[in-house]
């Protein structure tokens, strides 16, 4: 079976694997593949993180007096802006955050060509290419390797 | 590079790296336009060389820059001399007694690598085609020459 990354249904297959929805045989195959394929492994790890986040949210116990305390807190807020949204946000912030990560992971899977190694510093490749050009120019001035005119004393750039 | 483009590029850098790059760009921009154009053309020709040849030139430059400035100046004269010679004359010059007296074995290796990097048919225009005496030797140079 080819790498899911190379297949149109690959994203769904990987998502199903991470969500533990695959049958045992396919799951075993994909598990072996993920061990060998860095791209699939990266996606699977991200997906697992998403599912772990969701799992941990599910596992969080809700205290018995949660509703009482929540109503009390709402009551203490004087004219809260956007009360409905505020309540919704408190209730669903963890799954919303997890869903955001999930959407990000989906986008990552669906456009693997767009994935580029992230530089530690934004713009570093540009800077490095400028610095490399300056290094080469300094070298060419010193060595006059490509010169057809008379030599000149090299100065550092 | 446009000033705005340069500003955007530089402001992302750590201060020390930014300062060094700004200084280098400033020095480059103070060169006369014709010199900048000449260097750009040289850079384009250099970047069109095979990567291993480019790397060999960079390695040679690193060796060159590791020498003290006074020895670099003596080597520059050697480079100039080699460029003036016909390809067939270069190795003979390198083996000459005068070179052995003037340059250390490490410096002669640099000159030898320099010969390998020079284009085979390259010969500087406007300079003498025959071997002529090197500039008068500085006695202090002999301390560093081991041959």
- Answer yes or no: are the C-beta atoms of B25 and B13 closer than 8 Å: no
Residue numbers of the domain that contains A43: 4-64+94-115
**What CA–CA distances, in Å, run from B13 to A117, A145, B5, B8?**
19, 32, 14, 10
Of A127, A139, A147, the CB nearest to B21: A127
Both A111 and A126 in a single domain?
no
The band of A56, judged by pLDDT with boundaries at 50, 70 and 90, is: very low
From chain B, the residues in CB contact with A120 under 8 A are none
Q: Does A122 reach chain B within 8 Å, measured CB to CB?
A: yes
Both A157 and A100 in a single domain?
no
From chain B, the residues in CB contact with A127 under 8 A are 9, 12-13, 17, 21
CB spacing of B46 vs A121 below 8 angstroms: no
Does residue B91 sit within a domain? yes
CB spacing of B79 vs A146 below 8 angstroms: no
CB spacing of A121 vs B13 below 8 angstroms: yes
Task: Please tell me the distance in Å from B136's CA to the nearest CA on chain A.
Answer: 19
- Token digits of residue A92: 């669903």
What pLDDT was estimated at residue B25? 84
**Continuous segment of H or E residues that includes residue A47:** helix A38-59
Residue numbers of the domain that contains B90: 69-119
Both A98 and A142 in a single domain?
no
Chain B CA closest to residue A141: B39
What pLDDT was estimated at residue A18? 67
Number of domains in chain A: 2
- Token digits of residue A24: 């045992």
Does residue B61 sit within a domain? no
Does residue B103 sit within a domain? yes
Q: How far apart are CA B49 and CA A31, in angstroms?
A: 46
From chain B, the residues in CB contact with A135 under 8 A are 58
Does residue B93 sit within a domain? yes
Does residue B85 sit within a domain? yes
- Answer yes or no: are the C-beta atoms of A150 and B79 closer than 8 Å: no
Does residue B98 sit within a domain? yes
From chain B, the residues in CB contact with A146 under 8 A are 42, 45-46
Does residue B19 sit within a domain? no
A132-150 residue pLDDT tens: 889 999 999 888 887 654 4
Q: A99 — phi, psi (to 5°)?
A: -65, -35
CB spacing of B27 vs A154 below 8 angstroms: no
Query: Residue-wise pLDDT tens for chain B (147 aa)?
Result: 566 766 777 787 888 988 888 888 888 888 899 988 888 888 988 888 899 999 999 999 999 999 999 999 999 999 999 999 998 899 999 999 999 999 999 999 999 999 999 886 555 543 433 333 333 333 344 444 443
What part of A 78-97 touches B (C-beta under 8 Å)? none
Both A107 and A128 in a single domain?
no
Secondary structure of chain B as H, E, C letters = CCHHHHHHHHCCCCHHHHHHHHHHHHHHHCCCHHHHHHHHHHHHHHHCCCHHHHHHHHHHHHHHHCCCHHHHHHHHHHHHHHHHCCHHHHHHHHCCHHHHHHCCHHHHHHHHHHHHHCCCCCCCCCCCCCCCCCCCCCHHHHCCCCC
A18-50 residue pLDDT tens: 666 778 888 888 888 888 888 777 777 766 655
Does residue A74 sit within a domain? no
CB spacing of A137 vs B28 below 8 angstroms: yes
CB spacing of B79 vs A147 below 8 angstroms: no
A64-114 residue pLDDT tens: 677 777 777 777 765 555 666 667 667 777 777 777 776 766 665 555 444
CB spacing of B58 vs A140 below 8 angstroms: no
Both A19 and A54 in a single domain?
yes
Task: Please tell me the distance in Å from A117's CA to the nearest CA on chain B.
Answer: 18
**What is the CA angle A100-A103-A109, rounded to 5?**
145
- The residue among B56, B54, B58, B64 whose CA lies nearest residue B107 is B64
Q: Does B46 reach chain A within 8 Å, measured CB to CB?
A: yes
More confident residue, A127 or B71: B71
Select the highest-mean-pLDDT range: A1-5, A51-55, A85-89, B26-30. Answer: B26-30
Q: Which residue has the tokens 């969080």?
A: A60
């Amino acid at each position: 079976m080819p790498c899911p990354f190379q297949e149109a249904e690959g994203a769904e297959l990987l998502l199903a694997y991470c969500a533990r929805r695959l049958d045992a045989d396919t799951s075993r195959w994909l598990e072996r593949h993920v061990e060998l394929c860095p791209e699939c492994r990266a996606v699977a790890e991200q997906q697992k993180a998403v599912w772990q986040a969701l799992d941990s949210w599910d596992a969080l116990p809700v205290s018995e007096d949660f509703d009482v305390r929540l109503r009390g807190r709402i009551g203490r807020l004087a004219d809260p802006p956007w009360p409905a949204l505020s309540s919704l946000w408190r209730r669903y912030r963890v799954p919303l955050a997890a869903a955001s990560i999930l959407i990000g992971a989906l986008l990552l899977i669906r456009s693997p060509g767009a994935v580029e190694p992230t530089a530690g510093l934004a713009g570093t490749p540009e800077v490095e290419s400028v610095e490399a050009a300056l290094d080469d120019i300094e070298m060419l001035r010193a060595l006059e390797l490509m010169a057809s005119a008379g030599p000149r004393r090299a100065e550092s750039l | 590079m446009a000033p705005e483009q340069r500003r955007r590029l530089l402001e992302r850098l750590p201060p020390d790296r930014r300062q060094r790059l700004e200084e280098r760009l400033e020095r480059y921009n103070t060169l006369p336009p014709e010199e900048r154009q000449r260097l750009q053309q040289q850079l384009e020709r250099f970047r069109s060389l095979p990567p291993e040849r480019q790397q060999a030139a960079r390695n040679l430059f690193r060796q060159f820059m590791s020498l003290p400035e006074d020895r670099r100046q003596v080597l520059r004269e050697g480079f100039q001399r080699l460029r003036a010679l016909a390809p067939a004359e270069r190795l003979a010059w390198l083996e000459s007694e005068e070179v052995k007296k003037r340059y250390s074995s490490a410096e002669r290796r640099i000159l030898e690598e320099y010969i390998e990097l020079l284009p085979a048919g390259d010969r500087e225009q406007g300079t003498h085609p025959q071997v002529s005496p090197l500039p008068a030797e500085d006695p202090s140079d002999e301390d560093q020459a081991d041959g």
